[in-house]
Every structure is written in C-alpha cells, then in structure tokens.
Structure 1
Amino acid sequence: MEKIIEFSADGLYVVNHEGLTLFANAAYEDITGFKREELIGNHMGDLIQKGYFDQSVSLLVLEAKKRISILQQIGQQKKDVIATGNPVFDESGNISMIVTSVRDITQLKELTKELTKAKSFLHLNQNRYTFSTDGSDEQVIFQSMLMKEIIHKIRQIAPFPTSVLLSGPSGSGKEVIANLIHQLSDRKEQPFIKVNCGAIPEQLLESELFGYEKGAFTGANHDGKIGLLELADKGTVLLDEIGELPLALQVKLLRVLQEKQIQRIGGTTTKQLDIRIISATNKNLKEQVLSGLFREDLYYRLQVVELSIPPLNERPEDIEILIDHYFSYFCKLYNIEKHVSHETKRILQNYHWPGNVRELKNLVEGMLVSVPSLTIEPVDLPPHFNIQHSQESSPTLKQRVEQFEKRIVHDALHKKNTIRKAADYLGIDHSTLVKKMKRWKMTKEE
C-alpha cells in the first residue's frame, strides 16, 4: 500500500486529527518543490505562517468534518492545483486523519485560457474592434522623400516595444503605418487589435478595454469577459482616435502602461501584460493637454516616438503611383480591365485631396465599378473635380517653384526641433523663414 501511494500520479498529503503532517508522497514533492522532510511533524497552521501555503484544506476539513475541495496556488513556482481533503473517521465517528490529494491543473488552466481567448478572437473577427493585418491592399505606396524618411524611421523603431504616436489628418494612412510597424516587429505572429476610441460609446469603452469579472455590474456576461488589452497580450494594440479617450480612462490606461499590469472591472487580482501601444490621432494632442482635455503624463508615455504622417497634398509625388496602384488592385479584384485617360490623371494629380489617401482609394474603386466605358475620362469624375478644374488653370512656373519651396521648408522644419535651426539648415536668415511661414500660414507643429 505504501508503494502504491508513493507512485501515485497525484500528490498525496496526510495529517492527523490535530493537523500535524504525517506523510507526503513523491508526486507531492514534484508538484510543490517542497521536501517531505521539511513538512513531516509540522502543524499545518505553522506551515501557513512560514509561507509554505496560503491556506490549508486539511484545517478546513477538520473544522467542517466533511470532504472539501479548493483551488489554490502552491509551491515555489506557485502552480495552480485542486486540493481535495478527505476525512478518515474512526469507529467513534471522530476524524483520525485527513488524506489530501493534490492535482496539478496549471496546464489545464493555460489550455482553458487559450480556448477562452480563441473564442473571444472569433467573436472579435465579426465586429468593429478588429483590424486585418493581411489585406493585400494595405500596402504603403510612396516615392516622396517625406514618406521615405518615415518608412526609414519605422524600420528603425519596429523591432523595439516602444510606444508610437501617429499624428496626421484623417485618411492619410495612419492605420496602414501602424500595420507596417506591427508586421516589421517580432510580434507579427501575435495579436494585432485595433480599438477606435471615438466609435465605442463611453459607457462601454472601459469594459471593452479592460474586461470584467462575472457579476461585475448589472447586465454583465455571467462568465465575465476578457478585455481587448488582455487579448492583445504579447502583441500590439492600435488605439485609434486616442484624443477621444475620456479622462477617467486616460488615468487607467496610464496605470497599465506604467505598471504593465491589468485588472478587470470587479476583479481583485492583476495580470502581467506585455503589449505594444500604437496611438493614432488627427488632433493636436499638445493643444488638448494645454486645454485640460488630455493628460500630459499619458501624452509623454504614448509619444516616446512620434511620426507625423503628412496629408496627400504635401506629397504630390505619391499621387500618381497611388492612382496606378489602386487602379491595378481593383481591376484585379473585380476582374475588369479599364484605363484612365491622360487628362483625367492630370486632373487627379492637381486635385487637393482633402480626404487624403482614403479619398483617392474610394474614388478609384467607385469609378471602376460605376463607369461603363473602358476609358475613364474627365467627364466621368465627380462634379467637384471638374468644377475645380474649370476654375483653376495649370500652375504657373512661379506657383510650381513655390510649391517645391514649401516642401523643402516643411522637410527642414520636420527634421529640426526649432525654427532657428531649420533656418540654419536651409542657409537662410531666421526672419526670412518666419516671413515665409507666415505667408504660407505654416506652423512648426505642422
């Protein structure tokens, strides 16, 4: 019998009617990392005080005089176990000893957690909180120097888990840039979750981000819910429209970034978190900080690296290749063959694109599916294109030189952290640069 007990796969632990340890088998030693010599002869209460256990099922059985099972973390590696204490009664009905079986469920718990996460991802794939990372149209297409510098910097920072803030107007491609950062990092095989902070109602945003325990509030799922930040563990989170995040949640997000831990709503325990935060905004967060709408400490946590994505009209060199790319992409996608006339392309190249790359992409798709002829002519463009074309003649040499000059000044201001340094870099007087900026209504932040 002693040999059978010794070779049991479950850990077995025996105490007498007073709570003194009588026996522990080899499996118990393997599970807990404790040697039986340091346990036998010691009272369970003393062992708890010495830090061997946080609680004792044996003492609970002695008090309740019935079989009891508990979940607990035990041993030097804090393994998750099910401990079941079974009372052994003598002929008088008194407890003579308690035999406790201990089963290691650490692996089972990890498998359950992964299954829960898999189910959550399946649910996320059908709602607005996800962001596809493998779409063939989600490419960074460029040839301008502005974008070449940005891509060069992305290749430098992508391997590191540092926070990145993407600023720029709507439709300029911030999501595509975030996708590229994730794909170039060592997290590319891990989750990449996009959260639109402006699209989720404020009262739901906290539970979506942080999750909640069962019964945390009225209407909560009876099983609780894993939050999006927890789901992204080991991966990347894109917080789009970060400027819309309520102040109360800014405090909680800051705590997550500082402590690298997360606690669900209604929960009492914290979980270690390893996520990379990429934030995106079309607002000036510095101005929001000054007006009290955004926390300064959170701003500097998110803005470890800041990339300013320029609007399309500041990188006109990219317009033609973007037009060609999206025409080719949608022709292949819809299995059609159409062309753009030279005059149509010229109008598109001179257009100011207030909606940036997103507007261009949507326009190309719309024209390809709605224009019946094989060649897209200026008459096929939406009315506002032709109105602008009729009102604006082709730019003069002077206008083109000024556009080129503006781009050079913009690049210098982007590279240097002060206007004076930018002027030195350009080889002009500080006052001359200030005058040009005033004439063009250009600011250092832009």
Structure 2
Amino acid sequence: MEKIIEFSADGLYVASHEGRTLFVNAAYENITGFKRAELVGFHMSELMDRGYFDQSVTLLVLEAKKRISILQQIGQQKKDVIATGNPVFDEAGNISMVVTSVRDITHLNELTKELTKAKNFSQLSQNRYTFSTDGSDEKVIFQSMRMKEIIHKIRQIAPFPTSVLLSGPSGAGKEVIANLVHQLSDRKEEPFIKVNCGAIPEQLLESELFGYDKGAFTGARQEGKIGLLELADKGTVLLDEIGELPLALQVKLLRVLQEKKIQRVGGTSAKQLDIRIISATNQNLKELVRKGTFREDLYYRLQVVELSIPPLSERPEDIEILLDHFFAYFSKLYNIEKHVSAETKHILQNYHWPGNVRELRNLVEGMLVSVPSLTIEPVDLPPHFTSQPHTKSLSSLKERVEQYEKRIIQDALHKHDSIRKTAAFLGVDHSTLVKKMKKWGMEKNSI
C-alpha cells in the first residue's frame, strides 16, 4: 500500500488523529518543494507557525469530523493547489488518521486566466480602444531627414522598457510610430493595448484602466473585470491623448509606474505588472503642468524619452512618397487601377495639409473610390485644394472644358492599344488626337 501511495500522481499527506504528520509521498515533495524530513513527526500547528501552510485542512477535518476541501497557495513556489482532507474512522467511530490529497492546479489557473484575458481581448474591438499582438499593417513611410532622425532614435530605444512620450499634431502619425516602437522591442509578441484617454467617459476610465473586483460598485460584474493595464502585462500600452487623463487617475498611474504594481478598484491586494507605457498627446504638457491640470512628477515619468513628430507641412519631402504609397495601398486593397496627373500631384505637393498624414490618406482613399475616371485631375480635388494662393484657379469655362476633354482622352487611351483605335472610338481624326496629346505632353506608352 505504501508503494502505491508513493507512486500516486497526486500529493498525499497522512496525519495522526492528533494532527501530527505521519507520512508524505514523493508527489507531495515535488509539488511543494518541502522534504518529508521537514514535516514528518511535527504537528500541523507547528508547521503553520513556521510558515509551511497558511491553513491546515487536517486540523479542519479533525474539528469538523468530515471531508473538507480547500484552495490554497503552498510551497516555495506558492503553487495553487486543491487540498482535500479525508477522515479515516476506527471501529469505535473515532478518527484514527486524516489522509489529504493535494492536486496542483497552478497550470489550470493559468489557463483560466488566459481564457479570461482572451475573452476581454475579444471585447476590445467593441469599445474605443484596440488590441493587437503583431502591430499594425501600416508602414512608416518617409524620406525627410527629420523622420530619419526619429526612426534612428526609435531603433536605439525600442529594446529597452523605457517610457516614451510622443508629441505632435493630430494626424501626424503618432500611433504608427508607437506601433514601430512596440514591433522593434522584445515585447512584439505580447499584447499591445491602445487606449484613448479622451474618448472614454471619466466615470468609466478608472475601472477600464485598472479593472475592479467583484462587488466593487453598483452595476459591477459579479466576477469582477481585468483592467486594460493588467491585460497588457508583459506587453505595451499606448495612452493616447494622455493630457485628457483626470488628475485622480494621474496619481494612480504614477503609482503603477513607480511600484510596477496594479490594484483593482475595490481590491485589497496589488499585482506585479510588467508593461511599457507609450503616451501620446497633441497638447503642450509643460503648459498643462504650469496650469496645474497635469502632474509634474507624472510628466517626467512619462517623458523619459520624448519624440516630437513634426506636421507634414514641415517635412514636404515626405508628401510625394506618402501619396504614392497610399495610392498603391488602396489601389491594391480595392482592386482599382487609377493614376494621378502631374498637375494634380503638383497641387497636392504644395498643399499645407492641416490634417497631416491622416488627411492625405483619407483624401487618396476618397478619390480612388469616388472619381469615375481613370486619371485624377485637379478638377477632381475638393475646392479648397485648387483655391489656395499657390495654385492656379480653374475658374473659367474654357479651362474646365479642357480638363474634362483631357480626362476623356486619357481614359480612352487606357482602354485601347493604339492611338488610331482611340481616335476612332472618340470619333475624331487621328491627327487631331495626336495634336492634343502633344499639347498636353501625353504619350501612349506612358499611360
């Protein structure tokens, strides 16, 4: 019998009717890390005093005189176990010994936590924040010296868990830069949680960021909820519009950065946390600090490394390459084959782009799906593009008719494999078409 017990997969612990340890098997030693020599012969209360257990199921069974199961953390590794104590009665009905089986459920609990995390991740897409484990399909496209310097610095800092502050106007590409920081770090296979601090109502923001324990407040889930910061454990968090974070939450966030721990709303214990914080803002945080709406100590915690992303108007060298990139991207995405005329491209390159890269991207997508012709001409641009001081206004009827005629000819040339066939399709003389093509610098083999 002792050999059978010894080879049991579950840990077995046998104690006398007095509560003194009689025997433990090898599985128990493996689960807890305690050696039988440390336990055999000692009373359970002695072992509790020495810190071997926080509670003894054996003593509970001796008191209740019935089978009892408890959940506890035990051993040097603080493993999660189910300990079930079974009383063994003699013929007189008295307890002669207590046999306790100990089953390691640490792995099961980890799987349960991962399942809970996955459930929470699946709900993120329904809210104002996003989640990814492999970053974004967006690429950092640039050729300006200012952006080259920023990318070079990102490559230097990405491998370290340092907090990064991204500043710059809306639409300049702060989120794309944050994606790059995450992708170049050793956390790239871990979660990347993006939170818009200005989009979540203030009364919900604390519970969303930090989570809550069951019964924390009226309306709380019975099982509690994992916060976004906890979900991002081992990964990266992007706190967008960080300047909108309420002062009360700034204090809690500062504590997380200082102590590397997080405590849920209504909770009593703190959990160790390993996250990298990337914050982004289009506001002047120093000015907010001066006004007293942003904590100075938090500002310096977040601004260990600051990257200032310039507006598109300050890096005009990037306009053409971004324009070409977005045209290629959306053409492939929507399976549309269209082109931008040289005059249109000239106007776009000289535009001031108040909405930055986001405005450029949205314009390209809009033109590709809404302009019916194969070539996008200046007349296809929104009015404010052609009404700029540096662009020539197409106000006269003659100019507009010429632009329309040019577009029709370009489309026809795309559809036919020779100038002669194109002229026949349009119902004009071959020489007339050739003259017009020469006038506008159009070549069949380049269209």
TM category (shorter chain) comes to 0.7 to 0.9
Structure 2 equivalent of residue 305 of structure 1: 305
SS at match of 1:71: strand
Q: CA deviation at 1:160?
A: 1.0
CA contact (8 A) 2:170 2:356 kept: yes
- Aligned residue number for residue 5 of structure 1: 5
Deviation at 1:391, TM superposition (A): 7.6
State, as a whole percentage, how many aligned pairs show the same letter.
85
Residue 58 of structure 2 corresponds to which residue in structure 1? Answer: 58
Aligned-partner Cα distance in 2 for 1:11–1:350? 76
The alpha carbon displacement at 1:276 in A equals: 0.9
- Asked if residue 155 in structure 1 is aligned to residue 155 in structure 2, the reply is yes
Farther-moved stretch of structure 1 (380-389 vs 299-308): 380-389
Residue in 2 that maps onto 1:113: 113
Alpha-carbon contact 1:71-1:80 (below 8 Å) kept: yes
The Cα offsets for residues 53-87 of structure 1, whole Å up to 9 and x where unpaired, read as 11111122222222211111111111111111112
The answer to whether 1:227 aligns with 2:227 is yes
Aligned pairs for 1:49-88 (under 5 A) are 49-88=49-88
Change (3 A) 1:389 1:334: farther
Q: 1:95 aligns to what? A: 95
The separation in 2 between residues aligned to 1:184 and 1:391, in whole angstroms, is 41
Question: What is the SS of the residue equivalent to 2:130?
Answer: coil
Equivalent residues in 2 for 1:89-238 (5 A)? 89-131=89-131, 133-136=134-137, 138-238=138-238
Question: Which residue number in structure 1 is paired with residue 411 of structure 2?
Answer: none
Q: Does structure 2 retain, via aligned residues, the 8 Å contact 1:347–1:389?
A: no
Q: Is the 8 A contact 2:193 2:236 kept in 1?
A: yes
- Whether the 8 Å CA contact 2:135–2:188 is kept in 1: the answer is no
What is the aligned partner in structure 1 of residue 34 from structure 2? 34
In 1, Cα distance between equivalents of 2:269 and 2:92? 44
In structure 2, the gaps of 5 or more residues are 394-447
Letter in 1 for 2:167: S
Separation in structure 1 between the aligned mates of residue 96 and residue 18 of structure 2, nearest angstrom: 9
Over aligned residues, Cα RMSD in angstroms? 1.7
The answer for the alignment partner of 2:245 in structure 1 is 245
SS in 2 for 1:82: strand
1:396 is matched with which residue? none
On the 8 A contact 2:214/2:224 being kept in 1, the answer is yes
The DSSP-based 3-state class of the residue aligned with 2:388 is: helix
Amino acid corresponding to residue 273 of structure 2 in structure 1: L
Distance 1:340 1:2 in 2: 85
Aligned equivalents of 2:349, 2:173: Cα separation in 1:
18
Instruction: State the shift of 1:359 in Å.
Output: 0.6
Q: 1:279 — aligned with what?
A: 279
CA deviation vs aligned residue, 1:121-144 (integer Å, no higher than 9, x gap): 2222443311555543x1111111
Q: Does the 8 Å CA contact 1:241/1:279 hold for their aligned counterparts? A: yes
Closer, same or farther in 2 for the Cα pair 1:131/1:313, shift >3 Å? farther
Question: 1:392: how far off?
Answer: 8.2
Residues 21 and 39 of structure 2 are in contact (CA less than 8 Å); yes or no, is this contact kept in structure 1?
A: yes
Runs of 4+ in 1 over 4 A off after TM superposition: 131-135, 389-393
SS at match of 1:223: coil
- Mapping for residues 374-393 of structure 1, pairs under 5 Å: 374-389=374-389
Shift of 1:16: 2.0
Deviations 1:20-63 (A, max 9, x none): 22221221111111121221221111111111111111122222
**CA shift at 1:236, angstroms?**
0.9
How far off its partner does 1:216 sit? Answer: 2.0
Q: Is the 8 A contact 2:135 2:182 kept in 1?
A: no
Match of 1:23 in 2: 23
**Aligned equivalents of 1:126 and 1:378: distance in 2?**
39
Are the aligned partners of 1:215 and 1:224 in contact in 2 as well (CA < 8 Å)?
A: yes
Taking a change above 3 Å as real, the CA distance of residues 46 and 331 of structure 1, as seen in their structure-2 partners, is: same
Q: Does the aligned pair in 2 maintain the 1:164–1:278 contact within 8 Å?
A: yes
Aligned pairs (5 A) from 1:295-334: 295-334=295-334
Instruction: Report the Cα distance in structure 2 between the residues aligned to 1:352 and 1:276, rounded to whole angstroms.
Output: 35
More displaced stretch, 328-337 vs 193-202: 328-337
Q: Quick check: 2:121–2:131 contact (8 Å CA) kept in 1?
A: no
CA distance in structure 1 between the aligned counterparts of 2:114 and 2:244, rounded to whole angstroms? 32
Give, as a single letter, the amino acid of the residue that structure 2 aligns with 1:296: E
In structure 2, the residue corresponding to 1:265 is in which secondary structure? coil
Change (3 A) 1:299 1:360: same
Given that residues 136 and 179 in structure 2 are in contact (C-alpha distance below 8 angstroms), is that contact kept between their aligned partners in structure 1? no
* In structure 1, distance between residues paired with 2:32 and 2:333: 59
Tell me which structure has the larger Cα radius of gyration: 2
- 2:230, 2:262 within 8 Å by CA — same for their partners in 1? yes
Partners of 1:56 and 1:190 in 2: CA distance: 39
| Amino acid aligned to 1:224 | G
Equivalent residue letter for 1:25: N
TM-score in terms of structure 2 length: 0.84
In structure 2, the residue corresponding to 1:367 is in which secondary structure?
helix
C-alpha distance in 2, partners of 1:270/1:61?
32
1:291-440 pair list within 5 angstroms: 291-389=291-389
Equivalents in 1 of 2:59, 2:392: separation in Å? 89
- Please tell me the residue identity of whatever aligns with 1:300: Y
Distance 2:259 2:66 in 1: 42
| Contact persistence 2:166–2:308 (CA under 8 A) | yes
Looking at structure 2, the residues matched to 184 and 134 of structure 1 have their Cα atoms a distance apart, in angstroms, of 10
Change (3 A) 1:295 1:118: same
* TM-fit CA distance, 1:250: 0.9
